[in-house]
Amino acid sequence: MGRIFEVRKSTMFARWDRMAKQFTRVGKEIAIAVKAGGPDPATNPALRRCMQNAKAVNMPKDRVEAAIKRAQGKEMENYEEILYEGYAPHGVAVLVETATDNHIRTVANVKSIFNKGNGALGNSGSVSFQFKKVGTFKLAPQGLNMDDLELELIDHGLEELGEGTGENGEDVIVLRCAFSDFGNLQKALEEKGITPLSAELEWIPTTTVELSEEQAQDVLKLVDKLEQDEDVQKVFHNLQ
């Protein structure tokens, strides 16, 4: 065990803009979860995950409750989740997860950002083969023994366990499992009375690209622009 590999994220835009974007992202996730499984977190594990993630980004409880209520309304938008693939400058592979009520607008915006950033939007399958989709859980380390945790969870899909950082740079325990085992590991943690700080589905690169600092900034500027788009939920890349 040791420090777990984490996808490098862009942190260029201002803190308040980032917080607003995080609230919007979680709000869309809540809407999708409620539409699919209902408004009761006790019977909707996807909604429980969304509520954990809302807490991780300090989204106020009243905003979470409002998002759940809004998702039950007939006027609520139906969001479609679409994955876009492309290349940033210097050959860096990029995956863009979106949740949109207008895919024509979204693809136009994403393509424009790639083009203006000297990248290129690709076809489905052109980039995703360079990544592995995994479930990632972050836990507060207090009161937990990593060796014991590994032994207890390995039969529930745990593939990787190590140290990492939370949203505010705090130390956390990071668990990873295959995408297909996400539900199994989530259930096992709940049965042990462990509430994750966050629970996400992520795309982890199988290989990475090493660039100079100047070249890396070209890539991160493109990633930053993508992250700021209203339809974009998450951006993953294989920049080392």
pLDDT of residue 21: 85
Residue 5 clears pLDDT 70, i.e. is over it:
no
Could you give the residue range(s) of every CATH 3.30.70.980 domain in the chain?
80-129+207-237, 131-204
Q: Round to whole Å and give the CA distance between 70 and 63.
A: 10
In this prediction, residues 22-45 reach a mean pLDDT of 93
Whether the CB-CB separation of 59 and 81 falls below 8 Å is answered with no
Mean pLDDT of 199-225: 95
Give me the pLDDT at residue 17, please.
63
| pLDDT, position 12 | 43
The CATH number of the structural domain formed by 80-129+207-237 is 3.30.70.980
Spatial separation of the C-alpha atoms in residues 44 and 46, rounded to whole Å = 5
State mean pLDDT over 116-130: 97
- 44: which 2 tokens? 């909707």
The amino acid at residue 219 is V
| The architecture CATH gives domain 15-71 | Orthogonal Bundle (1.10)
Residue 225: per-residue pLDDT: 94
Whether residue 29 has pLDDT greater than 90:
yes
Q: Which CATH architecture has domain 131-204?
A: 2-Layer Sandwich (3.30)
Q: Do residues 235 and 227 make contact, with C-beta atoms less than 8 angstroms apart?
A: yes
pTM above 0.85, yes or no: yes
